[in-house]
A and B are shown apart, each in its own frame.
Chain A
Amino acid sequence: DAGITQSPRHKVTETGTPVTLRCHQTENHRYMYWYRQDPGHGLRLIHYSYGVKDTDKGEVSDGYSVSRSKTEDFLLTLESATSSQTSVYFCAISDAGSTGDEQFFGPGTRLTVL
């Protein structure tokens, strides 16, 4: 998985609790992305980062925040998890932000919010 790890790989939590997912890369790629994958929707971009401390919103950012204090780490936080945030979350990285630059995906985190 191109030097990308995600932790935890599985998590079950309760509605209203905060949750943080971590993406760690060893490729020194500048761009990092968080997607969620749901049946009937494919993958949808939540947030992305184009450098340390530089982040922006994606298509489905409501209820999520992100932080990137180091090149290698990109954190996704659900401040107060809801059942609608039950999903599989994928981190991706790319070396440059231009179209045609391949995005490499991590192994995913399966999150269940009860």
Chain B
Amino acid sequence: QQQVKQSPQSLIVQKGGIPIINCAYENTAFDYFPWYQQFPGKGPALLIAIRPDVSEKKEGRFTISFNKSAKQFSLHIMDSQPGDSATYFCAASYQTGANNLFFGTGTRLTVIP
């Protein structure tokens, strides 16, 4: 059973567009929500993360929006570039003593020049 649901599965945008990837969860014990970026043949790498006490976090062109009451969070990529083409995973964790991450199923983003 997938604890974090992610959509869409794939996304194609033109350069300069603003792709949005959405995630939802049920477990209210989750208290940390990172996004990972993965390029083909590589391991995932942390992109940006948020805690539920804030509704938005921005780092460069990447923004997380968080809606605690709806148990949803999303990633927005401003002014998307072909170099942003990758697979993006949302995740969630709660304090278990080991920071175990529960991942979404991933979104393959393609930015067309």
Given known A100-B32, A100-B49, contact A43–B44 (CB-CB < 8 A)? yes
A31 to chain B: which residues have CB within 8 Å?
98-99
15 contacts between A and B (CB under 8 A): A1-B42, A1-B43, A33-B100, A42-B103, A43-B101, A59-B102, A94-B99, A97-B96, A97-B98, A97-B99, A102-B46, A103-B99, A105-B36, A105-B44, A107-B43
Asked if A108 contacts B43 (CB within 8 A), the reply is yes
- Taken residue by residue from 5 to 46, chain B's Cβ proximity to chain A (1 for < 8 Å, 0 otherwise) reads as 010000000000000000000000001101010000111111
Within 8 A of B (CB), among A43-84: 43-45, 48, 50, 56, 58-59
Q: How many A-B residue pairs have CB under 8 A?
A: 74
In the complex, whether B89 has a CB less than 8 A from a CB of chain A is yes
Complex interface: chain A residues within 8 A of B60 (CB):
none
Chain B residues at the A interface, C-beta cutoff of 8 Å: 2, 4, 6, 31-32, 34, 36, 41-46, 49, 51, 89, 93-106
- Count the A residues whose beta carbon is within 8 Å of the partner chain — how many? 31
Contacts of B36 in A (CB 8 A): 105
Give A99's nearest chain B residue, CB to CB: B32
Cβ distance B98 to chain A, nearest Cβ, rounded Å: 4
Instruction: Give a binary string over A88-114; 1 marks a CB under 8 Å from any B CB, 0 the rest.
Output: 001010101111111111111000000
Pick from A33, A42, A50: contact of B106, CB below 8 A: A42
The answer to whether B101 and A98 touch across the interface, beta carbons within 8 angstroms, is no
Give CA–CA (A1, B94) in the complex, Å. 25
Query: In the complex, which residues of chain B have a beta carbon less than 8 angstroms from the beta carbon of A90?
Result: 43-44
Q: How far is the CA of A108 from the CA of B41 in the complex (A)?
A: 8
Cβ-defined contact, A99 with B95, below 8 A: yes
Residue contact A45 to B51, C-beta cutoff 8 Å: no
Name the B residues within 8 Å of A99 (CB-CB): 31-32, 93-95, 99
